[in-house]
Amino acid sequence: MGKQRRWRHMLGLLLATSLVVAACGDDDGGGSAEGFKFGMILVGPQNDQGWSQAHYEAGLYVIEELGLPADAMIVLDKVNTADRPETSLESVVDDMVAQGAQLVFATSDDMRDGIEAAAANHPEVPMIWSSGDNAWTEGQDYRADLTNLGNIMGRMEYGKMIAGCAAALTTQTGQIAYLGPLINDETRRLVNSAFLGARYCYENYREQDPTTLGFEVKWIGFWFNIPGFTLDPTQVTNEFLAAGADVVISGIDTTEAIVRVGQAFAADESVWAIPYDFKDACATAPAACLGVPYFNWGPSYLDAVQSVIDDEFEATWLWLGPDWDDINDPDSSAVGWVSGDALSEEAQADLDDFIAGLGSGDINLYLGPLNWQDGTEFLADGVEATDFQIWYAEQLLEGIVGASAP
């Protein structure tokens, strides 16, 4: 798919009418990619089979699509206070810019303060803060002064709805567990989305009372395990299984849930897992894997790089949905789902129907009545949630067991 076509297609995926996107140059014009370099700052290991690897491989996609040399991507992984306590994000950006980076990607919500400071320090260098909202003109944290810092995020809410549905179609105990990272707006809205997907499919395909479906979240305290700082995700998974949950949905960056569930499955336990973030995550324990919702950052990162090459970069906020024509199209879909070996044929048929309903709009899960966990109203009967209400999720939804606040 050519750059111009891909960009037009991506515009069609935007669901928020407030988004304004800078168009890339066409295939016959624009600047040259020769000599272009970009920085990639990862919160975890670049081979974590999760969040950070998905971003790293997006960088490889950019290199391949533009025919750049391998050293065009300047990478530093494990940029967090536990692994690199003496390293500030600002100093990382300083170093990448000194090495010739013409665009810098900061790829974690935790990088907010550092990347905003770095953008202010280098106003001439375009930057992307993935998962952020500083460029959203209607957002709570809009920064009109940071004209060089844009945001890209996938609408993983859809992926989590699909994950929740797959869990509900499979569970035999009626108990679904969610292994959560830290608690913030992003993680709450993803848990809420998985819960809504599970409840819908339990009622409409399993024909079971959705109020009898158990759905519990436990938070480990960070995006991945840091011994002595977070809860041990393997131990938390053990606790879920011991309490009767037979499907564990992972919301952390790494693979502990699928590893532990895979071990239990191999010991003839009827348990399953749904990993997160990375397209090939099921390979860790394929026999126990129901599927994986994953981010595909490559196309949007390519467009960002091309806009810099063409001198057309604008700091915009992108919240990109799946390409409903093919949610696994590597050149167009920001969010995908790959079903695992453990998903039954019957469940797959129901899940396909569910995905088609999400894509057509016939299934709208963010539609009232819905209450917050404390019983206060989130959405009145018949009221559809706005992007703002979904993005800034104040609490978990009523019916979810687990903490809404740290």
CATH number at residue 113: 3.40.50.2300
Same domain, yes or no: 7 and 130 = yes
Same domain, yes or no: 42 and 68 = yes
**How many structural domains comprise the chain?**
2
Same domain, yes or no: 249 and 165 = yes
Q: Domain of 70?
A: 3-154+297-320
Percent of the chain whose predicted confidence (pLDDT) is above 70: 93
Residues in a beta bridge with 293:
337
Give which of 311, 297, 324 is closest to 23, Cα–Cα.
311
Q: What is the pLDDT of residue 12?
A: 40
The reply to whether 397 falls in a domain is: no
Q: Is the pLDDT of residue 11 over 70?
A: no
pLDDT in tens, 92-128: 999 999 999 999 999 999 999 999 999 999 999 999 9
The reply to whether 355 falls in a domain is: yes
The reply to whether 284 falls in a domain is: yes
The reply to whether 325 falls in a domain is: no
Q: Is the pLDDT of residue 19 over 60?
A: no
Q: What is the pLDDT of residue 43?
A: 96
The reply to whether 329 falls in a domain is: no
Each as own residue / partner, the long-range contacts of residues 114-121 (CB below 8 Å, 24 or more positions apart, any chain) are 114/88, 114/89, 114/90, 115/89, 115/149, 116/143, 116/146, 116/149, 117/89, 117/90, 118/89, 118/90, 118/93, 118/94, 119/146, 119/148, 119/149, 120/145, 120/146, 121/90, 121/93, 121/94
pLDDT in tens, 285-312: 999 999 999 999 999 999 999 999 999 9
Q: What is the pTM of this model?
A: 0.91
Same domain, yes or no: 74 and 177 = no
Contact predicate 220/230, CB 8 Å: yes
Q: What is the mean pLDDT of residues 222-237?
A: 96
Of residues 31 and 388, the one with the higher pLDDT is 388
Same domain, yes or no: 187 and 276 = yes
Q: Is the pLDDT of residue 230 over 80?
A: yes
* C-alpha distances out from residue 159 to 72, 89, 137, 163, 242, Å: 31, 30, 26, 6, 27
Q: Is the pLDDT of residue 40 over 80?
A: yes
The reply to whether 210 falls in a domain is: yes
pLDDT in tens, 338-361: 999 999 999 999 999 999 999 999
Q: What is the overall mean pLDDT for the chain?
A: 93
Q: What is the pLDDT of residue 278?
A: 93
pLDDT in tens, 314-341: 999 999 999 999 999 999 999 999 999 9
Q: What is the mean pLDDT of residues 50-54?
A: 95
Same domain, yes or no: 12 and 147 = yes
Same domain, yes or no: 178 and 269 = yes
Give which of 251, 112, 255, 107 is closest to 182, Cα–Cα.
251
Same domain, yes or no: 289 and 302 = no
Q: What is the pLDDT of residue 31?
A: 81
Q: What is the mean pLDDT of residues 20-40?
A: 66
The reply to whether 223 falls in a domain is: yes
Same domain, yes or no: 309 and 267 = no
Q: What is the pLDDT of residue 272?
A: 98
Find tokens 């995020």 and name the residue. 153
CA distance 155 to 99: 33
Rg, the chain, Cα only: 21
Q: Is the pLDDT of residue 176 over 50?
A: yes
Same domain, yes or no: 118 and 264 = no
Q: What is the mean pLDDT of residues 185-208?
A: 98
* Least confident span in 1-15, 25-39, 78-92: 1-15
Q: Is the pLDDT of residue 20 over 50?
A: no
Q: Is the pLDDT of residue 30 over 80?
A: no
CA distance 394 to 378: 9
The reply to whether 243 falls in a domain is: yes
Q: Is the pLDDT of residue 15 over 60?
A: no
Q: Is the pLDDT of residue 25 over 80?
A: no
Same domain, yes or no: 176 and 112 = no
Same domain, yes or no: 125 and 8 = yes
Give which of 7, 277, 304 is closest to 154, Cα–Cα.
277
